[in-house]
Amino acid sequence: MAQKTYMQALNDALREEMERDPNVLIIGEDVGQFGGCFGVTKGLFDQFGEKRVRDTPITESAIVGAATGAAAAGLRPVCELMFVDFIGVSMDQLFNQAAKMRYMFGGKTTIPMVLRAPQGAGIGAAAQHSQSLESWFMHIPGLKVAMPATPEDAYGLLLTAIRDDNPVVFLEHKVLYGVEGEVPDNAGAIPFGQAKICREGTDVTIVALSKMVYSALEAAETLAAKGINAEVIDPRTVSPLDMDTIIESVKKTHSLVVAHEAVKTGGAGAEIAAQVAEEIIDYLDTPIMRVGAPFTPVPFSPPLEEAFIPGAEDIVAAVEQIRS
Amino acid sequence: MTISKKKMIEMYTTMYRIRQFESKLQEFFAASKIPGFVHLYLGEEAVAAGACAALNKEDYITSTHRGHGHLIAKGGDLKLMMAEIFGKSTGYCKGKGGSMHIADVDLGILGANGIVGGGGPIATGAGMAIQYRGEDRVAVCFFGDGASNQGTTQEALNLASAWELPVVFVNENNGYGISCPISKSMAITDIADRAAGYDMPGVIVDGNDVTAVYEAITAAVARARKGEGPSLVECKTYRWRGHFEGDACTYREKDEVDEWIKKDPIPRCAQKMLDEGILTEKELDALHAKIDTELQEAITFAEESPLPEPADLFEDVYA
Amino acid sequence: MLLPAGSRFSLKHNILSILMTTVGIIANPISGKDIRRLVAHGSVFDNQEKVRIVRRIMMGLSSLGVQRVMFMPDYYAIVPRAQKGIHSNIELISAPMCADNSQDDSTKAARLMAEAGVGCIFVLGGDGTSRAVTKGNATIPILPISTGTNNVFPFMIEATIAGLAGGLIASGQVSPEQGCFRPTCLEILNEDGSVRDIALVDAAVHTDTYIGSKAIWSLDQVSQIFLTRCRPDTIGLSAIGGQLHTISPRELQGLHLTLGTVGTTFTAPIAPGLIEPATVTEEARMKVGDTIFIKESPCVIALDGEREVEVRRGEHVSVRLSAQGPLVVDVSQVMATAQQDKLFMH
């Protein structure tokens, strides 16, 4: 059992897959000698050389498109967007090309590529470097979307992402890079579409994504002090989305709160809430509540950014509201 | 550069096959026999035929929304193509793709593409894979004059050049992006001029002369195989039909179309072969008859094939 | 006297004749873009550069007071763009023709300009463009400026100076006798003796049967070369002759080389960046009027480096050295005359 940071876990997963499979290579802006803007690819250039850890120009369409083409030609590229916000300039290559090629071609090709991108607010990076965009990606058939919260999940999900034969959008929360956690020595690939019950409870189900898992666990402690026993579930991948685990939990707790850092409107929480309502509305004793960011761009100034980012207190408030 | 008799016949055969295939589609569309819409390659046959004649089976191509010609030239199966365009389950894509998304990865065809400029980065990625594995292959990106204004194309040109990838960018300049003439869409007129900005060779050839296209692409492919990086070959050509079938073509004069029809690449090539004794009239007729039979078989196959079942909708979203 | 603003010619100039002067400009939008960028190392000569060259020609013309330009319409609109960029008052007249974007445009434009009585025609292109212009006009002086690939015939010259020299010839300040010369050319003759085509620098017999991408970048299939001129410091097929002799553009003689596998081998730069061995089996000087029968049939005759004339199976052509090349402005000589006559002195 080793203590590792989220970033080290990602770095380990990349290194191990590159050692295991010569078809795996990394492309992206400043991923080489520089080690990646946040440092995720540190040391890989020295170990694998420029051929396998390749700096690109600032050319997001070509980065995503080249990864797509290389994957269609049999490689397993891992491309990095420095910030997920930059997907805007390369979206066509992801959602019209990579995501759809297999289907459009009648199943006659695979696109085994990973697009890694940090998302999330909290470092004063403002509106174009802080968004959480998982709902954009989960809306597109053909893409898989992973968003690990812990070092162990970061490691295990990235192994799976690289080995998957489909295009995977791998969303890392930039505030989590320095978070430490236990990664067992025998840790391995974690299958997609398997939610993790982070805390068992009986009174309310809190489904939380990415960094909000920590807020949900904190909220659960606060609620416990108030006599409310919350169950916290991290879906870990929003596409595929493990609704079975969520539904089983809600059948038990009869109450649901969904929390994510993305803007609440049209977010992943809306999808989860809707599916629960469609499937098991009779089990619900309370209304469903969503906790998410307000419908504004991510602001810059610390008090504004703090006001934007949802936290444990918002989850507590939501639970108390539906139970009142 | 010598073009063998065999190669001349091969290129002519390809052009004629495309011509007949597209002409049939024109009829079928008019008769509402095919769903969706089609962008015909009529008039531009020499580009696909000349370019693909310079390639091997294991070379890659990315194609466009006007892709039937490229697919046929790269060896696409007429039966599977026709069935796909008919929306049948036996088609190349089991009816999931249609005219704009036909692909055959085994033939190196990384897909026609419904997004103008969509193919550039993909061809560049295929080039990256070739370079990574040290293979003796090239990737050809077919793109139009309209696509040349897309950022994706410019990014692909830049990356391919910066990394000296084995990619040949084959521009089909047919003068119009749907209704918009290039005079309104760019400040220049020769897409080849843009090559200089990426430090790659940019050449212009008569896109209605299959031998000219073949020579230029052969040279560009040889360069790419030697590791000397990408090239841009602009083929000046013209589409006889509208952007899509049903386009009334109000944006161009009939005289202009007639002038280009006079430059039809197919009789030009046929005459050359007859003059040089490569084929006799009788052999040419036999060649035509053979292709017409092949096409008829493809049509029969498509017509008699079953439509997909609604449940097939859910197949192949994920691997 | 109404003088154009900015003009600073002296009283030595004949103001009326200047104001009446029209010059022609034929700028080929397609020159400098053929396959020799792929098979050799030619530069991509983009059209905006041609626009800038025309601007400098116009500045030269304006400074002399020449106010009217007839131009060949082309799909890039090189000349109108040039004028737009300098806000010049030069009156532009399009040659009354429809461009069909082939080399025939240059021929047609030259003919129309000659008919309109222009005083000089500036030609932007390579050897091929000058050849096309000559086919339409052999009487009006031409001033060819290199914007092509193999440039033996046109001048590598600063366009401002070209504008001045062409303007002086066009307006009669320097006479054609003083400032022009007429080089030889090669005529490709049909069996009935009629002229099928011409070449200004070189004609080559190519044993292929198709024109393809036009340029020649290998000598494998070149069996004979005819030259009107050669020097050891030029590019293209004439560079081979240049390893044997020097024949200046003004000399009324030519050279006929037979290539093969046995003979004297030279190294010659036959295209930009392409230096190849060439084996000369036989060589013979040509006098004006000498006509050589081409026994190869079928074949293609390359003119000034480009495969142009398809000779069908059973058909035969001959090549003749003619004294009737175009009338060419000698920029150095014109400027020297202007110096002697103090034409630019205030």
DSSP secondary structure string, C296-325? --SEEEEETTEEEEEE-TT---EEEEES--
Residues A34 and A170 reside in one and the same domain: yes
In a domain, C7, yes or no: no
Examine the domain organization and report whether C250 and C229 are in the same domain: yes
- Are the Cβ atoms of C46 and B276 closer than 8 angstroms? no
Residue owning tokens 């050049």: B161
For residue A45, the domain's CATH number is 3.40.50.970
User: To 10 degrees, what angle do helices A312-323 and A212-225 make?
Assistant: 50
Specify the long-range contacts of residues C95-102, CB closer than 8 Å, at least 24 apart: C95/C24, C95/C70, C95/C71, C97/C72, C97/C73, C98/C73, C99/C72, C99/C73, C99/C74, C99/C75, C100/B259, C101/B236, C101/C30, C101/C74, C101/C75
Interatomic CA distance for residues B132 and A76, integer angstroms: 12
B-chain residues within 8 Å CB-CB of A53? none
* Mode of pairing for the β-strands spanning C318-322 and C142-146: unpaired
Domain that holds residue A93: 2-183
Query: Closest by alpha carbon to B238, among B268, B208, B212, B203?
Result: B208
How many domains is chain B partitioned into structurally?
1
Question: Are residues C118 and C69 located together in one domain of the fold?
Answer: yes
Report the SS3 class of residue A118.
strand
Catalytically active residues of A, by annotation: 60, 129
Q: Which two tokens stand for residue B132?
A: 């990574």
A130 and A258 part of one domain: no
CATH number of the domain that C42 lies in? 3.40.50.10330
Q: Which residue, B229, B207, B68, is CA-closest to B145?
A: B207
> Tens-of-pLDDT digits for all 319 residues of chain B?
789 999 999 999 999 999 999 999 999 999 999 999 899 999 999 999 999 999 999 999 999 999 999 999 999 999 999 999 999 999 999 999 999 999 999 999 999 999 999 999 999 999 999 999 999 999 999 999 999 999 999 999 999 999 999 999 999 999 999 999 999 999 898 999 999 899 999 999 999 999 999 999 999 999 999 999 999 999 999 999 999 999 989 999 999 999 999 999 999 999 999 998 999 999 999 999 999 999 999 999 999 999 999 999 999 999 9
Task: Please tell me whether residues C57 and C192 are part of one structural domain.
Answer: no
Which of A59, A66, A92 has its CB closest to that of B128? A66
Which of A183, A217, A238 is the endpoint of a domain? Answer: A183
CB contact under 8 A, A65 and B124: yes
What domain range is C247 assigned to? 185-322
Element (H or E) spanning B282, and its range? helix B281-304
Q: Name the helix (H) or strand (E) containing A2.
A: strand A2-5
Identity at C18, one-letter amino acid code: I
Structural domains of chain A, count: 2
The reply to whether C175 and C41 lie within a common domain is yes
| Rounded Cα gap, residues C41 and C21, in angstroms | 40
Q: Quote the tokens at residue C58.
A: 């116009």
Domain that holds residue B195: 5-305
Total length of chain B: 319
Count of Cβ atoms closer than 10 Å to residue B136 Cβ: 10
What's the pLDDT tens digit per position in A257-291?
999 999 999 999 999 999 999 999 999 999 999 99
Strands across the sheet containing B231-236: B60-62, B139-144, B167-173, B231-236, B202-206
Across chain A, mean pLDDT equals 97
A149 and A106 in a common domain: yes
B210: in domain = yes
Same domain? For A248 and A102 the reply is no
Domain assignment present for A314: yes
Report d(CA B138, CA C21) in Å as an integer. 56
Q: Do C132 and C195 belong together in one domain?
A: no
Q: Answer yes or no: are the C-beta atoms of B120 and B153 closer than 8 Å.
A: yes
B253 contact partners, CB below 8 Å, separation of at least 6: none
Interface test with C, best of B190, B206, B256 (most C CBs within 10 A): B190
d(CA B59, CA B110): 10
Q: What is the distance in angstroms between the Cα of C33 and the nearest Cα belonging to chain B?
A: 5
Cα torsion C55, C57, C58, C59: sign? positive
- In this structure, the dihedral spanned by the alpha carbons of residues B243, B248, B249 and B253, taken in order and rounded to 10 degrees, is 160
The Cα–Cα gap between C105 and C108 comes to 5
What residues does C292 pair with on adjacent strands? C319
Beta bridge partners of C328: C142, C181
Q: Which of C31, C33, C36, C38 to mutate to test the interface with B (most CBs of B within 10 A)?
A: C38
Preferred mutation among B8, B215, B231, B255 to probe C, highest tally of C CBs within 10 A: B215
Tokens 């649901």 -> residue: A256
**Residue B40 domain flag:** yes
Contact C212 B212 (CB under 8 A): yes
Helix, coil or strand: residue B251: coil
Whether residues A255 and A168 fall in one domain: no
Whether C267 and C304 map to the same domain: the answer is yes
The single residue listed with the structure tokens 């002067």 is C21
Whether the Cβ atoms of residue B191 and residue B169 lie closer than 8 Å to each other: no
CATH number (domain holding residue C224): 2.60.200
Q: Is residue C3 situated within a structural domain?
A: no
Are A52 and A14 within 8 A, CB to CB? no
- State the Cα–Cα distance between residues B112 and B110, nearest whole angstrom: 7
Q: Are residues C178 and C83 in the same domain?
A: yes
Last residue of a domain, one of A123, A157, A183: A183
Residue A170 has pLDDT above 60, yes or no: yes
- The helix or strand, by DSSP H or E, that contains position B254, with its residue range, turns out to be helix B254-262
- Spatial distance between the Cα atoms of C305 and C128, rounded to a whole number of angstroms: 8
Tell me if A190 is assigned to some domain.
no
Looking at the structure, do residues C165 and C263 belong to the same domain, yes or no? no
Q: How far apart are CA C260 and CA C267, in angstroms?
A: 14
- Return mean pLDDT, chain B: 96
Amino acid at C35: I
CATH code of the domain covering residue B39: 3.40.50.970
Query: In angstroms, rounded to a whole number, what is the distance separating the alpha carbons of residues B38 and B241?
Result: 11
Whether residues C49 and C165 share a domain: the answer is yes
Largest CA distance in chain A: 60
Contact B151, A61 (CB under 8 A): yes
CA-nearest of A280, A253, A257 to A209 is A257
Same domain flag for A36 and A159: yes
Distance to chain A for B88, nearest Cα, Å: 11
User: How high is the pLDDT of residue C43?
Assistant: 84
Decide if C8 is inside a domain: no
Question: Is the peptide bond prior to A184 cis by the omega test (within 30 degrees of 0)?
Answer: no
Q: Convert the pLDDT of each residue in A191-249 to its tens digit.
A: 999 999 999 999 999 999 999 999 999 999 999 999 999 999 999 999 999 999 999 99
CA distance C280 to C225: 10
Closest CA to B17 of B236, B204, B277, B269: B269
Q: Which two tokens stand for residue A175?
A: 């505030």
CA B110 distance to own-chain centroid: 12
Residue A189 lies in a domain: no
Q: What are phi and psi of C212, to 5 degrees?
A: 55, -130
Which chain A residues have any C-beta within 8 angstroms of a chain B C-beta? 25, 27, 51, 56-57, 59, 61-62, 64-75, 77, 89, 92-93, 96-97, 101-110, 112, 141-142, 144, 164-166
**Pairing mode of beta strands C253-271, A180-183:** unpaired
Contacts of C152 (CB under 8 A, 6+ apart): C127, C201, C202, C229, C234, C235, C236, C238
End-to-end distance of chain A based on CA atoms, in angstroms? 43
Other Cβ atoms less than 10 A from the Cβ of B6: the count is: 9
Portion of chain A with pLDDT greater than 90, in percent: 99
Neighboring chain B residues of A56 at a CB cutoff of 8 Å: 159
Same domain, yes or no, for A48 and A176?
Answer: yes
Cis peptide before A77 (omega within 30 of 0): no
Measure CA A239 to chain center: 10
Q: CA B296 → CA B17, B274, B286, distances in Å?
A: 12, 26, 15
B314 belongs to a structural domain: no
Which residue in this structure is represented by tokens 């959602």?
Answer: A95
The answer to whether residues A202 and A169 belong to one domain is no
The single-letter code of the amino acid at C71 is: F
Q: Which residue of A has its CA nearest to B61?
A: A69
Does residue A191 form part of some domain?
no
Distance separating alpha carbons of residues A43 and A28, to the nearest angstrom: 15
Whether the CB-CB separation of C138 and C221 falls below 8 Å is answered with no
The whole-number average pLDDT for the span A103-127 is 97
Q: Do C31 and C163 belong to one domain?
A: yes
Nearest Cα of chain B lies from the Cα of C289 at a distance, in angstroms, of: 32
Domains in chain C: how many in total? 2
First-residue to last-residue Cα distance in chain B: 45
| Claim to verify: residue A9 and residue A145 sit in the same structural domain | yes
pLDDT (tens, 9 = 90+) of chain C, 346 residues, equals 334 444 444 445 566 677 789 999 999 998 888 898 999 888 888 899 999 999 999 999 999 999 999 999 999 999 999 998 887 889 999 999 999 888 999 999 999 999 999 999 999 999 999 999 999 999 999 999 998 776 899 999 999 999 999 999 999 999 999 999 999 999 999 999 999 999 999 999 999 888 999 999 999 999 999 999 999 999 999 999 999 999 999 999 999 999 999 999 999 999 999 999 999 999 999 999 999 999 999 999 999 999 999 999 899 999 999 999 999 999 999 999 999 999 998 8
Enter the ipTM: 0.93
Q: How confident is the model at residue B298, as a pLDDT?
A: 98
The amino acid that residue B249 corresponds to is C
Contacts of A30 (CB under 8 A, 6+ apart): A36, A37, A55, A82
The mean pLDDT of A135-158, rounded to a whole number, is 98
Same domain, A119 and A219: no
Contact A61 B152 (CB under 8 A): yes
Q: List b or e across C190-227, with b for residues whose CB sees 16 or more CB atoms inside 10 angstroms.
A: eeeeeebbbbbbbbbbbebbbbbbbbbbebebbbbbbb
Phi, psi of A172 (to 5 degrees): -105, 140
Q: Mind listing the pLDDT tens digit for each residue in B21-57?
A: 999 999 999 999 999 989 999 999 999 999 999 999 9
Helices of type H across C124-201: 127-136, 159-170, 176-179
Helices (H), chain A: 6-20, 44-48, 60-72, 91, 99-104, 134-138, 151-163, 212-225, 243-253, 268-280, 302-308, 312-323
